[in-house]
Structure 1
Amino acid sequence: MAASWVLPVVLNAVSLDVVLIPVLVLAVASLLRVGGGLLDRLVVASFVVCGSVMAFGLLFSVWPWGLSPVPMMGFLLTVVSLVGWLTGRRPHIPLKLRGSDVLVLGTAAVVWKYVHHPLVGKSAADRIAYFATAEDRMGHFSYFDGIHHVGGYNFLHQEAARTYMMTPAEAVYPQGTHFLLAWIDVLVKSSTDGGAALGMMNRYLLYVMAAYALFCAALVWAARWVGGPRLRGWRTAAVCATVLSVMLSGSMAFLVEKGFDSETVGLLFLTVALALLLRPAMGRAEFALVGVAALVAVTFVYNLYGVLVGIALASVLVIHRRRFAARRGLLLGALAAGALVAGLPTVFSVLTKLDVAKTSNLAGPMVIPDRPVLIGCTLLVLVAAALPVNRRTATGRTVLALVLGAGLVLTVFGFWQMHTIGYLSYYFEKLAAGVLVIALISLGMVGLMLLPGERTKGPLLRRRAERLGLSAVATAAALSMFAGVQWGVPSGWSKPSAWYDSPMVKWAKGENGSDMGPAANLLTKRDLKGVTTPVIALYSNDSYHNLKSTFIAQLLTHQGGNMVGLYEIFYVKIGGPAVPPKDKEKPADKDKTEAEKAADREKEYQSSLGHLKTAIASCPAPPTILVGDAKVAERLRHDLGSAGVQATVVDAPFPSS
């Protein structure tokens, strides 16, 4: 108990609070009795820690110390100490390692190498080109920034949070991801002060990239866990490498580019939660703890996936009803309490500002799971689960129930969208990604259908060498079949392999970055110095460029919510030269006379001016407008002044102008 407080105080004094994260994970791991290997124990402990941090975050959000490192970590370590004392468990961590741990850890390392590669050697401002590939990530950062400043969940500090994010996000959007990352960031910084926004953006980008790498590794681990102790040797390598290959070459890598940060973290927790529920190889106490952590972690991060956890949990309780018959009431009571806590943010948002029907049919950029992989893996899992040998096992029956239940939910949701809006939209594909997770982790059971072959006789070293060789060949085969890796063999058409066309490789090459680097450099090094008002950055005649430049400017000044009319900038197509060079003319203007072109430009200017006025009116104070072209700046200064619109127009020349 004393160490629970002394250690945070000492580490905070030397700015090493981040060390408390592994300390907390190891402390929890030492009291759990799940998994016979070190990696399994650490995965479960990390999952429980994340769920606990998000749940206790409700307390941290309202107590007087906010996210201060010492009180938070002292409290969490005290809880672990009390649990150890009350249960009488002595700390114990298994040190056993498995050969396939290399595939799990290797997945995280390889994916991290690819997603992080474009950032290597770039300045903080230049990295914004990869931070701002989509406005979704900028929105997610604003929630993260808000939690840093208000000291807890934004929905519990709505009035203060509106400064940092566009309303009504402070009340309706799930904030588990942003709270968890803010908690990590506070420990990394050893302070509740996140510092300059540019540094915060860079750290946030690294966190979400690490989350994607962990998501891919978690899928590999989960498939192995579902396979259980019978899945060994080359069969383990074949299953793990297949899952790795799908994630390396498939469309899910677009999650990084599209800025779907909450979905990424939600899929990460969904993966671990479903694996542990499909094969609950643990006692009642651990099952209750894992079940509550699954409900909280998944629902707080991405409540859409709470439905899949609910199906899995209900299936487990029915299929394992005899196993959990003793003290069933206590178990159900703990799970009911967990469900109540898990549902609090969602219920709060529904009762305040969330229109569920309208939100469910939202349109937007989508990351579409590869249909052949989704359909093929699901059908393969159904075949394996339906075989008599697997129907006799609890894991086989649970997998079958989960796949059928999730498929039914996805089908009903798809039909509902087709009936109401006529097409499959944004959230259908997100739910489909959850079904893909189920299919991939259930491949562990499919791996059991592979014949292990006769055991090799002879010296131990020889047997291990043979298993290693077979596993290496199985891994290479999976990477070739499912990731398009040709191992240096030239293609028959003298073209690069399909691997080089995958979204992850293109991201690693820097092909999918945004054009926000120059704007970020101007904003951070020149145009925002001394500016405290809301900022509108019109560096270009490209309206989307202006929108993202303005959004970045708002975030860099910690004012992500002060311009309610931010998306009016999407219709502002001025800021660059009033008369674009011939080589930048629109194709439709090539055959027009100069008079017609001038008339079109004037019409576009007046339309843009109207939207700009609307955006200015939404600001809590007269904004600063940065304009990339001097002549356009002068005209805007005159026209806004003549209309009585208060704003400071600044000539901010842009390199391309």
Structure 2
Amino acid sequence: MIRKTAVALALAWLVPLATHPLGLDFVLPVLILAGTVAIQRGGVTLADRVMAACAQLFGAACVFGLAITLWPGHLHPTLIAGTALTALILIAVATQRTPELPGMRKDALLAIAVAGVSVVALVPYAVRDLGGRLGLPLAGEDIARHYLLFDVIGRTGGYLFMRPEALRPFVPDAELTGIANYPQGLHFSYAVLDRFARSSAHNAAPVTAVDVMMWLLVGTYLLLVLAILWAARRIAGPGATNARLLPVLALVAAWLVLGDPVTVLSRGYPNELAGLACAAVLTALVARPLTRLGEQTATVALLLVGISFTYSLFLPYAGIVAALWAVRARLWRHWWAWVVAVTVGGLAAIGPLTAAQASSGDQLLLNGTARVVDRPATALLVALAAVAVLQRRRVAVLQRRRVAALRSRTDAVLRSSKALRSSKVFQSRNVAAFALATAGAMAVGLGTWQIVTIGRPVYYFDKLLHLLIVVALCALGGLARFRWKWTAAAVAAPVALFMLVAGGEWHTTPVAPGVKLALGRDRGSPEAARDALLIARMFPDGGNAVNVNLMGSPWRNWSGTLGAAALQGQYRQFPGWSALLYPGGKGGTMADLDRLVANSPVTVRFFLHDPTASLLVVDKDHPNRPAVRAGQPLPVAFGDPAAPSNFEAARLLAATYPTKVQLVYATPANP
């Protein structure tokens, strides 16, 4: 045993040392995941063990990031992989577990469902070029700051809330506290995976780095898909046949690719995707815990940490349902459970405490760029989920009577009793119902407060509706346990059709969000993204200048300038130009533009292409702009006809400030 352990520990470092010079570091995360799966014992199927392993690794990575931030090696893939493999071997030795993988036969239907959703979700991204992929979330603005965190964590090698001064060269002073204290568990994980994907110890060029991040964003959505489908399968229970499961998983899959969850991907919210995935896994494990108490405790604890480090808005839900499981499991009887509780409480508090520093007092009242959730569809889903988790109450008395009768027989008969297994399934429905009620109460509570305070529900209410949707999709697994065999099939088809034909806040917009994405009708801002990529290719580090995009239409110019600033590490210079470029504002005059150039601490580089493009006005209080109907794209010539065009204004400034203004006549990239 000692000899085998010594050999394994040696290989834990020799393998990463060999893969790095060969450019094969991308196999190391797969090896770490496989090793984590191999030492699981609490799950019956391979999917159970994979999901538990993913949850454990993500939570552990969030915690490990605290140490990596302080150690000198930072994000070098050899050091990270060697440490992770060593930890796995020591855990296996301590628990006396030899690597073991269960069969996959019971996971076949789940694998088919996940593969189907993955293909449908990947196609819209695979057929687009990088500009098209980046353009989808760039329309929502937040992706620029997500990239900024991903990039600067890669540059500095750790969490920025632990050393915010490292972020100062990249962001305006006014935004330093907010960005530095934003939850960074996922950004840190992305930075680590980027190193493994490229077998590098350093950041890539901006265009390469953002390409990697976009595929990691898509991968996070696919993990959410796997988590929800697996959770529905697990809540259905071991007695659900494939014939009963098929329509349920088909309905869940349809909702994932047609409904609101796919908009979280297309609008570019990676943290929320990860938080929702953790919430889905937690919901399933609280409803039907793993068979090993130690593994269950570790997994729940690490899920709480993962949610804290990614999307702390969901932490109250996670804490409540985790507390329910802890009470039902009577953890207070074990001394080690108290140690775990104190440790997890301290680690899980990091997310809310840092978020509190990053937030204003009215943070939950702020609006944002997330798509408004389809209200009728969500109400229908919650109603279906409620029926799924509550319908077995009608037969609960009969089941209890059967169990009581069987208790008078031998233990062997009791252990093999189908009625006893059914009773356990009923208990899981109770917990799933509690989880659904908790998520619903959080959404209703916040929505009510927002209506009373500002008159309408906004942004964070929709985020909590996303959580409610995910919990409800997990709870739909209960449909597979209906007394009538074809009930789930009869429900799934019309509901999926209902989701297919319309979308929008009140289900009045033709075609579902997922269909719009697949057909290319949801484009985002691909021209802006291609402009940003063009600027970043020409000047990867910004060229000691603020690069201002004036090549086309107003939204294209604003988003392109924002995207380029993030890619080049020059976001610090962007806010000063944002008000002038932002199409939804009052605009700016030639005097305002002149003042920005005069006060700029760095060179100003204007990118020009279309001579008809304009944005300036003569009078900001009474701007003379073309009338545009709501929902229609803004014209390229959006400025006041009496004000200089973009070409004219840039040339005037170049003549006034010949050593400070540069003009670049660029040709935008084609798709």
Superposed CA deviations along residues 214-259 of structure 1, whole A, max 9, x for unmatched, are 2123211110111221222311112211211222221322222222
Corresponding residue number in structure 1 for 2:386: 382
Matched, 1:233 2:242: yes
The TM-score with structure 1 as length reference comes to 0.81
Aligned amino acid, residue 157 of structure 1:
R
Asked whether the equivalents of residues 532 and 560 of structure 2 are also in contact (C-alpha less than 8 Å), the reply is no
Asked whether the equivalents of residues 374 and 436 of structure 1 are also in contact (C-alpha less than 8 Å), the reply is yes
Asked whether the equivalents of residues 147 and 567 of structure 2 are also in contact (C-alpha less than 8 Å), the reply is no
Asked whether the equivalents of residues 565 and 614 of structure 1 are also in contact (C-alpha less than 8 Å), the reply is yes
Q: Report SS of the residue matched to 2:73.
A: coil
Bigger mean CA deviation after superposition, 363-372 or 561-570 = 561-570
Matched, 1:550 2:564: no
Q: Structure 1 pair 270/569, CA: closer, same or farther in 2 (3 Å)?
A: farther
Q: Report SS of the residue matched to 1:154.
A: coil
How far has the Cα of 1:437 moved from its partner? 1.2
How far has the Cα of 1:151 moved from its partner? 0.8
Asked whether the equivalents of residues 374 and 439 of structure 1 are also in contact (C-alpha less than 8 Å), the reply is no
Superposed CA deviations along residues 567-602 of structure 1, whole A, max 9, x for unmatched, are 32443799xxxxxxxxxxxxxxxxxxxxxxxxxxxx
How far has the Cα of 1:363 moved from its partner? 0.5
Matched, 1:432 2:465: yes
Corresponding residue number in structure 1 for 2:150: 144
Q: Report SS of the residue matched to 1:649.
A: strand
> Please, which runs of 5 or more residues in structure 2 have no aligned partner?
1-8, 398-422, 502-507, 612-644
Paired residues for 1:601-620 under 5 Å? 606=589, 609-610=591-592, 613-614=595-596, 617=599, 620=601
Q: Report SS of the residue matched to 1:650.
A: strand
Superposed CA deviations along residues 487-514 of structure 1, whole A, max 9, x for unmatched, are 9xxx9xxxxxx99922222212222123
Matched, 1:247 2:256: yes
Corresponding residue number in structure 2 for 1:154: 160
Asked whether the equivalents of residues 388 and 475 of structure 2 are also in contact (C-alpha less than 8 Å), the reply is no
Match of 2:287 among 245, 267, 278: 278
CA distance in 1, matches of 2:663, 2:382: 57
Aligned amino acid, residue 484 of structure 1:
L
Q: Structure 1 pair 615/155, CA: closer, same or farther in 2 (3 Å)?
A: farther
CA distance in 2, matches of 1:434, 1:615: 45
Corresponding residue number in structure 1 for 2:339: 333
Match of 1:627 among 608, 611, 619: 608
Q: Report SS of the residue matched to 1:536.
A: strand
Bigger mean CA deviation after superposition, 167-176 or 60-69 = 167-176
How far has the Cα of 1:389 moved from its partner? 4.3
Aligned amino acid, residue 546 of structure 1:
N
Bigger mean CA deviation after superposition, 423-432 or 71-80 = 71-80
Q: Structure 1 pair 189/507, CA: closer, same or farther in 2 (3 Å)?
A: same
CA distance in 1, matches of 2:306, 2:602: 39
CA distance in 1, matches of 2:53, 2:395: 32
Q: Report SS of the residue matched to 1:36.
A: coil
Q: Report SS of the residue matched to 1:535.
A: strand
Corresponding residue number in structure 2 for 1:200: 209
Q: Structure 1 pair 480/412, CA: closer, same or farther in 2 (3 Å)?
A: closer
Bigger mean CA deviation after superposition, 400-409 or 376-385 = 376-385
Match of 1:41 among 33, 36, 49: 49
Paired residues for 1:403-414 under 5 Å? 403-414=436-447
How far has the Cα of 1:639 moved from its partner? 4.7
CA distance in 1, matches of 2:169, 2:492: 48
Corresponding residue number in structure 1 for 2:96: 88
Superposed CA deviations along residues 246-275 of structure 1, whole A, max 9, x for unmatched, are 222213222222222221222122111221
Q: Report SS of the residue matched to 1:156.
A: coil
How far has the Cα of 1:305 moved from its partner? 0.8
The TM-score with structure 2 as length reference comes to 0.80
Q: Report SS of the residue matched to 1:537.
A: strand
How far has the Cα of 1:529 moved from its partner? 4.3
Q: Report SS of the residue matched to 2:565.
A: helix
CA distance in 2, matches of 1:253, 1:23: 30
Q: Structure 1 pair 337/313, CA: closer, same or farther in 2 (3 Å)?
A: same
> Please, which runs of 5 or more residues in structure 1 have no aligned partner?
453-469, 492-497, 575-602
Aligned amino acid, residue 548 of structure 1:
S
Corresponding residue number in structure 2 for 1:597: none
Q: Structure 1 pair 641/58, CA: closer, same or farther in 2 (3 Å)?
A: farther
Corresponding residue number in structure 1 for 2:665: 652
Matched, 1:441 2:479: no
How far has the Cα of 1:127 moved from its partner? 4.5
Match of 2:87 among 79, 82, 90: 79
Match of 1:371 among 368, 372, 375: 375
RMSD: 3.3
CA distance in 2, matches of 1:332, 1:555: 44
How far has the Cα of 1:157 moved from its partner? 2.9
Query: How many percent of aligned residue pairs carry the same amino acid?
Result: 25
Paired residues for 1:502-517 under 5 Å? 502-517=512-527
Aligned amino acid, residue 121 of structure 2:
V
How far has the Cα of 1:380 moved from its partner? 3.7
Q: Report SS of the residue matched to 2:543.
A: coil
CA distance in 2, matches of 1:526, 1:213: 29
Bigger mean CA deviation after superposition, 64-73 or 608-617 = 608-617
CA distance in 2, matches of 1:255, 1:486: 17
CA distance in 1, matches of 2:536, 2:40: 53
CA distance in 1, matches of 2:536, 2:63: 42
CA distance in 1, matches of 2:554, 2:283: 43
Aligned amino acid, residue 414 of structure 1:
G
Q: Report SS of the residue matched to 1:79.
A: helix
Superposed CA deviations along residues 389-411 of structure 1, whole A, max 9, x for unmatched, are 46964323322322222222222
Corresponding residue number in structure 1 for 2:191: 182
How far has the Cα of 1:341 moved from its partner? 0.9
How far has the Cα of 1:77 moved from its partner? 1.3
Aligned amino acid, residue 649 of structure 2:
R
How far has the Cα of 1:653 moved from its partner? 5.1
CA distance in 1, matches of 2:282, 2:121: 25
Superposed CA deviations along residues 505-537 of structure 1, whole A, max 9, x for unmatched, are 221222212343376258527983485124332
Bigger mean CA deviation after superposition, 26-35 or 121-130 = 121-130
CA distance in 1, matches of 2:534, 2:312: 36
CA distance in 2, matches of 1:614, 1:57: 40
How far has the Cα of 1:485 moved from its partner? 9.6
Corresponding residue number in structure 2 for 1:6: 14
How far has the Cα of 1:333 moved from its partner? 2.4
Aligned amino acid, residue 574 of structure 2:
M
Corresponding residue number in structure 2 for 1:417: 450
Bigger mean CA deviation after superposition, 398-407 or 532-541 = 532-541
CA distance in 2, matches of 1:281, 1:616: 64
How far has the Cα of 1:376 moved from its partner? 2.9
Q: Structure 1 pair 107/369, CA: closer, same or farther in 2 (3 Å)?
A: farther
CA distance in 1, matches of 2:509, 2:289: 36
How far has the Cα of 1:320 moved from its partner? 3.1
Corresponding residue number in structure 1 for 2:496: 483
Q: Report SS of the residue matched to 1:139.
A: helix
Match of 1:344 among 337, 343, 350: 350
Superposed CA deviations along residues 26-72 of structure 1, whole A, max 9, x for unmatched, are 21122221221112211211221111111111111111111111111
Q: Report SS of the residue matched to 1:117.
A: helix
Corresponding residue number in structure 2 for 1:22: 30
How far has the Cα of 1:103 moved from its partner? 4.0
Asked whether the equivalents of residues 539 and 654 of structure 1 are also in contact (C-alpha less than 8 Å), the reply is no
Asked whether the equivalents of residues 109 and 242 of structure 2 are also in contact (C-alpha less than 8 Å), the reply is no
User: How many pairs were matched up?
Assistant: 589
How far has the Cα of 1:549 moved from its partner? 1.0
Bigger mean CA deviation after superposition, 386-395 or 77-86 = 386-395
Corresponding residue number in structure 2 for 1:581: none
